[in-house]
Amino acid sequence: MKEIYLDNNATTKVDELVFEEMRPYFCELYGNPSSMHFFGGQVQKKVDQARARVAALLGAHPDEIVFTACGTESDNSAIRSALEVFPEKRHIITSRVEHPAVLTQCRNLTKRGYRVTELNVDGEGRLDMAELEAALDDDTALVSLMYANNETGVIFPIEEAAKLVKAKGALFHTDAVQAVGKIPLDMAASSIDLLSISGHKLHAPKGVGVLYVRRGTPFRPFLVGGHQERGRRAGTENTASIIAMGKACELAMEHMADENTRVRAMRDRLERELSALIPNTRINGGGADRLPNTLSIAMEFVEGEGILLLLSEKGICASSGSACTSGSLEPSHVLRAMGVPFTCAHGSIRFSLSRFTTDAEIDTVIKELPPIIHRLREMSPFGREFLNKK
């Protein structure tokens, strides 16, 4: 069975061009970029090129790019660094809908005496800038807010937030793992201090990430040891993956327009048709500014895991904001923070597209999902009540 992969916010296919770019750096060009000999030196040149390619996608300077092992490491490094830079400040601001890579660390810091403010979101998943402004004080070391939400695709007004935060003298970090490569970013015209990227969300392999550190932003490394990454991240470079990351960023730039036109149109069609064919649905974050590739759709009276398993039988890969798939029992913290009613939160499914998604695949989902929902509703006591009323 050929898979229909609509779970690109979880991870993406490595673009074949990216794989070709990295392939020689395992068995042939395996030198250490730090070595004095020509054999390491030629790898150093490719790592430099990769750094320049990542910088180009972000509108940044190459020396602002620090390669890490993953998005989570970038997030953790940014938060720890900010707190070390301002040892006297004991307050952090984040939001209730952050990825666990940020939220778990912030919550752990409360045990070490830090005050953490988690900003609320409204029913569409949007931030309230007035709440951010009110939460900022002289004790605030860091504000960490995601660029775009992984579950709903809702985009935060990050530049506006960054300006407010900078005016108060705190550092501003954004987890931009879902945004980079999907929407244009320009660090040259930005107030962001620190920004996290993950390779495998933009068609590079797993195990490589980036932390953008603005020139002039004080920084303390998380990993110490060697002098790699100009002392900001010790450890021998994951050369093949870094080179892959550079290529992936170059390709992301080339495909940016496609992502925001063709991919967006496919997402919009999926949203429109499913909403028309399946009664009692709602679009989570539908009223907000969203990523072009993400659709979070809630279907009342059914539970997400059953939907996913039946979709999987048809070869369709999606994800749910439901509890039972994740090991936790509470529906997704993101949907709960948005106040999505329990009747919907348990039956929320996320489709996340990529440039490799085709119209034919979208047609298949539009054909297969409505009967699956009908079948599960017939099986559910609440679904039956609803169907009988109709």
Among all residues, which ones are annotated catalytic? Answer: 324
At how many degrees (to 10) do helices 381-389 and 359-379 cross?
100
Binding residues for another protein, how many (CB under 8 A)? 28
Judged by CB under 8 A, which of 122, 328, 339, 359 binds another protein?
Answer: 328
Tell whether residue 257 is a contact of another protein (CB under 8 A).
Answer: no
Least distance to another protein, CB of residue 73, Å: 22
| Cα within 13 Å of Cα(299), Cβ side | 29
In this complex, which beta carbon is closest to another protein, that of residue 113 or of residue 381? 381
At how many degrees (to 10) do helices 264-277 and 359-379 cross?
30
- The first and second tokens of residue 100, run together, are 């666990």
13-48 burial by CB neighbour count: b if 16+ within 10 A, else e? ebbeebbebbeebeeebebebeeeeeebeebbebbe
In this complex, which beta carbon is closest to another protein, that of residue 36 or of residue 329? 329
Tell whether residue 108 is a contact of another protein (CB under 8 A).
Answer: no
In this complex, which beta carbon is closest to another protein, that of residue 276 or of residue 309? 309
Question: In terms of C-beta density within 10 A (0-12 exposed, 13-18 middle, 19 or more buried), how is residue 261 classed?
Answer: exposed
Judged by CB under 8 A, which of 346, 348, 354, 365 binds another protein?
Answer: 346
Backbone angles phi, psi at 92, to 5 degrees: -125, 140
Q: Do 129 and 100 touch, CB atoms closer than 8 A? A: no
Contacts of 360 (CB under 8 A, 6+ apart): none
Helix, strand, or coil (residue 3): coil
Tell whether residue 9 is a contact of another protein (CB under 8 A).
Answer: no
Tell whether residue 324 is a contact of another protein (CB under 8 A).
Answer: yes
Near another protein by CB under 8 A, which window of 61-69, 97-105, 118-126, 380-388? 380-388
Question: In terms of C-beta density within 10 A (0-12 exposed, 13-18 middle, 19 or more buried), how is residue 388 classed?
Answer: exposed
Least distance to another protein, CB of residue 330, Å: 4
Least distance to another protein, CB of residue 372, Å: 12
In this complex, which beta carbon is closest to another protein, that of residue 5 or of residue 301? 301
Least distance to another protein, CB of residue 197, Å: 27
Provide the pairing of β-strand 140-144 with 316-317.
unpaired
Tell whether residue 3 is a contact of another protein (CB under 8 A).
Answer: no
Q: Do 357 and 6 touch, CB atoms closer than 8 A? A: yes
- Enumerate residues 280-319 that contact another protein by CB under 8 A: 301-306, 309-310, 313
Tell whether residue 321 is a contact of another protein (CB under 8 A).
Answer: no
* Sign, CA torsion 363/364/369/372: positive
In this complex, which beta carbon is closest to another protein, that of residue 129 or of residue 310? 310
Tell whether residue 199 is a contact of another protein (CB under 8 A).
Answer: no
Tell whether residue 369 is a contact of another protein (CB under 8 A).
Answer: no
Cross-strand pairs, 316: 4
Tell whether residue 382 is a contact of another protein (CB under 8 A).
Answer: yes
Tell whether residue 330 is a contact of another protein (CB under 8 A).
Answer: yes
Tell whether residue 138 is a contact of another protein (CB under 8 A).
Answer: no
The residues that touch another protein, with contacts defined as CB under 8 A, are 301-306, 309-310, 313, 322-325, 327-331, 342-343, 346, 378-384
